[in-house]
Amino acid sequence: MIATRESRLALWQAHHVQQRLQSVHAGCTVELLGLTTTGDRILDRPLAAIGGKGLFTKELEQALADSRADLAVHSLKDVPMQLPEGFTLAAVLERADPRDALVSSRFGSLRELPPGARVGTSSLRRAAQLSDAFPQIQVLPLRGNVDTRLAKLDRGEYDAVVLAAAGLKRLGLAHRIRELLAPSLSLPAPGQGALGIEVRAGRDELLQWLAPLAHRRTWLETTAERAVSRALGGSCRVPLAAYAVQQPDGTMRLDAMLAVDGEPKPRRAGAQAPVADFDAAAELGERVAAALAAPGGSKD
């Protein structure tokens, strides 16, 4: 049994895992348990003001604890950096497009936006980078699922919105994308574009059953990204980005961004190193986090 949120995107993700499991374990039956989380119910306040990313996972974790479900499927970027005691990340699936995407009915790119243009986003990370690169625009809060956000755009409440490209593509909405934002402009959130599977700790047989779904390169990259956030106390209250890319020779490049209150520009740092295992990935993330924590953090 898969525990999932009931938004259209969350259900797509759960069905994707369901289909993958049924393809690698012929004859198995995999069902879905749809749940509404606190984060889904409270839409009139910024996520940072009501408790953070854990609001999208705690009801699913309760279903695991109660044995109503065996696993929970999450967008990895929504998974807290420290899981509650008794839970573990069982697998990270191959990452889809990690970039942010501009959606607008009137403008083809961020550079076309006129002074005062209203750009909606739910992310402090996106807001910090957009405001830095385009100080003439208004970056306004925007909550709700993908369809809700697009409806607000279509009603004229915003001139443009910025969403995760992966979510739009998964929902068959790639045609709404006007511009894919390069990581140099809008560095993604840790884990963006990847799916994570959470289970109760100690279920070794379930871990083995899920192992074929794991994508080692994505898991290594997101381990480095999440290590940056973990070291800096990252949550949706902290405007932080991290994006890692592992090369065929085993070298990994990790870039990160941190916006600090009172500082005129976001801090940026980066490093690269050979990464062959999860410990090395975490060490790279901690190294970049230390550079960000130092005033004047800069890319090497």
- At the topology level of CATH, where does 100-181 sit? D-Maltodextrin-Binding Protein; domain 2 (3.40.190)
Q: What stretch(es) of the chain map to CATH 3.30.160.40?
A: 215-300
- In this prediction, residue 42 carries a pLDDT of 52
Report the CATH fold assignment for 1-93+195-214: D-Maltodextrin-Binding Protein; domain 2 (3.40.190)
In whole angstroms, what is the distance from residue 78 CA to residue 275 CA?
A: 25
pLDDT of residue 58: 82
Q: In the chain, which segments carry CATH 3.40.190.10?
A: 1-93+195-214, 100-181
**109-166, pLDDT tens digit by residue?**
999 999 999 999 989 999 999 999 999 999 999 988 999 999 999 999 999 999 999 9
pLDDT in tens, 44-94: 455 555 455 556 678 899 999 999 999 999 999 989 888 899 999 999 999
Q: How far from 126 is each of 43, 158, 162, CA to CA, in Å?
A: 19, 16, 8
DSSP state of 84: P
Name the strands in the sheet holding 71-75, side by side, starting at the edge strand that comes first in the sequence. 32-35, 2-5, 71-75, 195-200, 87-92
Quickly name the fold that domain 215-300 has: Double Stranded RNA Binding Domain (3.30.160)
User: CA 94 to CA 130: how far, in whole Å?
Assistant: 28
> Which amino acids are annotated catalytic?
78
